[in-house]
């Protein structure tokens, strides 16, 4: 029926497995798109030591990189779970970059860190809430704060869920890198110093998570470039849903599920479960406050995306040769 396992369902499946005696998993490798996600990582954190994933698209290779990963891990010498988690990401990078036109960004995190990271996101959200609520709705001061937040979102790394149409990585795409956002939030002078301090603290919590970033033209659309800053270590970490980042009133199709964290018991449930990340942080409340005064215009269509497979036969288009002076 084309229905994926939900974020809550993924955590519940792991919980049930451990209740049946399955040992705690060493490494969860989310070998697909967008699952290096703050929401998912926080949900599975109790059930594994490390998780490896990709913040944007990953180009499906059906596990073709795994034999080399396990060969490397099987060589003599002491090995760690962190090393195995990193090998999954770096193996993916080596395979895709060797072909070219398959740029990705990979990361791995010790899942015990997710409680602190969620607390850091909560603190940033709480300070942004206070900065917005310190000024009356409609006032110039409040507009300046909201505009500064929007500018920080637009300056941060976006991941493509096609909110803007096409494959360009920019707003109004609805997934934002929380590490990059924590960096860009430290710049706007219109935001209180408490926001900058909270953002700096969150940025420090997110160091050493990015394993690599590629820079290339994706084969699915060679008119755009995906630059995940290969030579910068700590600019990226994990994605987080930030629907309608430019406050146009056009929301991501997942928003009704994501934003309804306190369902009315007298109404039919939109979904049967709400993940702890949404209940334990101020992230949803911040998104709601950020959109106060914005007229709702509609939801983006929820469609099954084309899977960005590994394209072994892709040949990049050649620019036509031009003579001198042409």
3 state SS for the chain: CCCCCCHHHHHHHHHHHHHCCCCCEEEEECCCCCCCEHHHHHHHHHHEEEEEEECCCCCECCCCCHHHHHHHHCCCCCCCHHHHHHHHHHHHHHHHHHHCCCCCEEEEEEHHHHHHHHHHHHHHHHHHHHHHHCCCCCCHHHHHHHHHHHHHHHHCCEECCCCCCCCCCCCCCCEEEHHHHHHHCCCCCCCCHHHHHHHHHHHHHCCCCEEEECEECCCCCCCCCEECCCCCCCCCCCEEECCCCCCCCEECCCHHHHHCCCCCCCCCCCCCCCCHHHHHCCHHHHHHHHCCCCCCCEECCCCCCCCCECCCCCCCCCCCCCCCCC
How confident is residue 162, by pLDDT bands cut at 50, 70 and 90? Answer: confident
Residue 319 has pLDDT above 90, yes or no: no
Average pLDDT value for residue range 16-41: 97
pLDDT of 317 over the 90 cut: no
pTM of the model: 0.94
pLDDT for res 70 = 95
Question: Comparing 33-42, 212-221, 257-266, 304-313, which segment has the lowest mean pLDDT?
Answer: 304-313
Instruction: Write down the pLDDT at residue 165.
Output: 72
The mean of the pLDDT values for the chain is 93
User: What is the model's pLDDT at position 62?
Assistant: 82
Res 302 pLDDT > 80: no
For the chain, percent of residues with pLDDT exceeding 70: 95
Lowest mean pLDDT among 136-145, 218-227, 239-248, 264-273: 264-273
Residue 246 is predicted with a pLDDT of 96
């Amino acid at each position: 029926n084309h229905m994926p396992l939900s974020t809550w369902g993924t955590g519940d499946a792991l919980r049930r497995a451990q209740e049946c005696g399955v040992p705690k998993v060493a490494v969860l490798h989310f070998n697909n798109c967008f699952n290096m996600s703050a929401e998912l990582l926080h949900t599975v954190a109790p059930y594994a030591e490390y998780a490896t994933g990709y913040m944007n698209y990953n180009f499906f290779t059906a596990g073709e990189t795994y034999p080399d990963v396990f060969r490397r891990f099987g060589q003599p010498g002491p090995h760690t779970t962190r090393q195995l988690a990193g090998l999954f990401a770096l193996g993916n990078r080596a395979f895709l970059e060797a072909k070219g036109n398959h740029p990705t960004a990979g990361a791995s995190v010790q899942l015990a860190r997710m409680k602190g990271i969620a607390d850091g996101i909560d603190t940033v959200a709480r300070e942004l809430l206070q900065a917005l609520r310190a000024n009356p709705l409609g006032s110039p001061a409040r507009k300046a704060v909201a505009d500064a937040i929007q500018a920080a979102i637009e300056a941060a790394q976006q991941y493509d869920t096609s909110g803007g149409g096409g494959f360009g990585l920019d707003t109004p795409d609805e997934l934002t890198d929380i590490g990059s956002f924590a960096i860009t939030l430290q710049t706007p002078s219109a935001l209180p110093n408490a926001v900058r301090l909270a953002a700096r603290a969150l940025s420090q919590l997110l160091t050493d998570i990015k394993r690599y970033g590629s820079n290339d033209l994706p084969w699915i659309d060679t008119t755009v470039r995906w630059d995940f800053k290969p030579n910068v270590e700590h600019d990226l970490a994990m994605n987080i849903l930030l629907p309608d980042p430019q406050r146009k009133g056009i929301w991501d199709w997942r928003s009704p599920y994501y934003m309804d964290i306190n369902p009315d018991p007298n109404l039919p449930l939109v979904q049967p479960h709400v993940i702890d990340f949404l209940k334990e942080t101020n992230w949803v409340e911040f998104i709601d406050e950020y959109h106060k005064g914005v007229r709702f215009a509609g939801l983006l269509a929820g469609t099954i995306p084309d899977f960005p497979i590994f394209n072994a036969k892709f040949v990049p288009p050649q620019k036509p040769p031009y003579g001198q002076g042409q």
